[in-house]
Amino acid sequence: MGFSKQAALIAICTFIAIPAFSQTTKTATKKVPPSGGTSLSADQSKMLCKAWKLDTVSVYGVDSKPKAKEANDGITPVADGSIFLTQEGVAYTGKWTCAGGRLNVVAESPAYKVSFKVISLADTRMVLEYQYPAPDYSRVKYTYSPKK
């Protein structure tokens, strides 16, 4: 291949790759809907900051009741930024933040980090989604109701 053909091929690849990369970058930095901003409104904070119990686990779109080891699972974000989380029967304590439509938990005891996408939040129902890392990438939705 001559120099001009190589240069033309490089130029064409560059013109294709740059817009594709730019779109990826734009998607990653797009604005977040109001319900998932960097801070919660007073109403959202009031809805979130209470004790929630796990009602339903949805894997691949199939809903099921919590299994035996998930029977007492729940989440309790507190207005001061602390959190109590029980997942698969393991109790965690730590701190939480809400940013970019995600509920982020960093537990100290035992050490654990998890980030949930907030699908919906209302007074009587909260739906969080967790996406497993590579190579699985499966998603699990957790539906919670206020603990009584």
Q: What is the pLDDT along the chain (148 residues), one digit of tens a residue?
A: 454 444 444 444 433 333 433 333 333 323 333 333 346 788 888 899 999 999 999 999 999 999 999 999 999 999 999 999 999 999 999 999 999 899 999 999 889 999 999 999 999 999 999 998 888 889 999 999 999 8
If we measure between CA atoms, which residue out of 96, 81, 102 comes closest to residue 33? Answer: 102
Count the neighbouring beta carbons within 10 Å of the beta carbon of residue 3.
7
Q: How many domains does the chain have?
A: 2
User: CA 118, 78, 68 angle in degrees (round to 5)?
Assistant: 65
Tokens 């129902």 correspond to: 125
Domain that holds residue 15: 1-30
> What is the C-alpha separation between 94 and 83, in angstroms, rounded?
5
Asked if 73 and 12 sit in the same domain, the reply is: no
Asked if 61 and 131 sit in the same domain, the reply is: yes
Asked if 10 and 60 sit in the same domain, the reply is: no
> What is the C-alpha separation between 128 and 77, in angstroms, rounded?
13
Q: Torsion angle of alpha carbons 75, 118, 27, 112, nearest 10°?
A: 10
Asked if 21 and 80 sit in the same domain, the reply is: no
Asked if 138 and 73 sit in the same domain, the reply is: yes
Q: What pLDDT, on a 0 to 100 scale, did the predictor assign at position 134?
A: 82
Asked if 128 and 69 sit in the same domain, the reply is: yes
Q: What pLDDT, on a 0 to 100 scale, did the predictor assign at position 42?
A: 83
Q: Is the pTM of this model over 0.85?
A: no
